Amino acid sequence: MKAKIVNFFQFLFFFAIGSVLLYLAFRGIDLNKLIATLRHADYEWVVLSLVFAFLALLFRAYRWQLLLGAINKHPHISRILLAVNVGYLANFAFPRIGEITRCGMLHRTDKLPVDKVFGTVVAERMCDMLMILLLLALLLALKFETTGGFMMHNVIHPIKRMIPETAGILWGIMVLLLVAAAFFLLWYIFRTQLSKITALRKMKEWLTGMTQGMKSVLKLNHFGLFLLLNLLVYGMYFMQTYLMFFALPHSASLGIADALFILVVSSLSFVVPVQGGIGAYHVMVSLGLTVFGLSREEGMAYATISHSATSLLFILLGALSLLILYTRKFKNTP
């Protein structure tokens, strides 16, 4: 009962963050102009862009299959795709919960150890972050003035205002290092006694298994294919972003480098812990499009169509996948 109450309040907390961001995104927007823009959108381009969104999910599933194979786990690609879809659906309830949810789905269908599988998910997310950083570096090389100015004004400066002075940061780092050193020293001294505590022993086993999963990148048999799949995933995201431009007359004239810029900006928005990127995506993408001369209403129209269509796709695929996973009988093959 207590766990349900805690989960309920966690949901409300993250939902409140998303709602505030959504309010800030739409504050000052002329809703009549926004609605008029949405009415004149060409939704055939939206549907076409969603084809590439689905392909990105498929390539993600193949990429994850390679990582699972590196730890000697070989679930069928169909079950991996179903698990990925359910994970995206779960993120609309709680941010980041989808990562552990999809591991739970593979445990259900294939009896895979959740700790090791979660380690492969962490490795996957680290690869995602590296890809975003590489794309950002490419953007800075292609459009330094536009990209650098936007990042300084909308990302770096707000973060600097949120953190304390440099001296405070250094003291904080020193305290954290001392606490970590004290923890490991106590663990080393009392490791025999502490290992008898069930909760700590299970935590150690979980961390060991997760670490093994994270090392899956180092054990890949087809590293070249893995790199190609990384490029394909973000290539599909790029095509989705670029094709979505043609859905609205005001963004139809934007080019390839502009689509790359919006892809990076939208990726950064998902760092904010809110359900499905709600609010954060709208703020970042609408602001990003104003760099190219679009009005706030026009930028918000693009962000609204893009986010709503993609969210609807994820929800439908996730719900269908969840139905399949809980109605079909699977032969568990760890």
Domain ranges, ordered by start, for the chain: 30-327
Helix (H) or strand (E) holding 57: helix 43-70
Global confidence as pTM: 0.79
pLDDT at 86: 92
Given a cut of 50, the residues of the chain with pLDDT beneath it are 6-9, 11, 159, 333-334
Helix 256-269 to helix 144-151 angle (10° resolution) is 20
Tokens of 100: 């552990």
Residue-wise pLDDT for 306-318, tens only, equals: 998 998 999 999 9
CA 41 – CA 216 distance, rounded (Å): 44
pLDDT at 64: 95
pLDDT at 170: 62
pLDDT at 233: 96
Task: Specify whether the CB–CB gap between 219 and 70 falls below 8 A.
Answer: yes
Task: Specify whether the CB–CB gap between 297 and 30 falls below 8 A.
Answer: yes
pLDDT at 51: 97
Residue-wise pLDDT for 118-141, tens only, equals: 889 988 998 999 999 898 888 888
Mark 21-60 as b/e (b = at least 16 C-beta within 10 Å). bbeebbeebeeeebeebbeebeeebbebbbebbbbbbbbb
In a 3-state reduction of DSSP, which class is residue 116? helix
Tell me the CA distances in angstroms from 9 to 36, 93, 167, 213, 274, one per residue in order: 37, 12, 35, 32, 14
pLDDT at 38: 72
Q: Which residue has the tokens 């093959």?
A: 333
The DSSP output letter for 42 is -
pLDDT at 44: 94
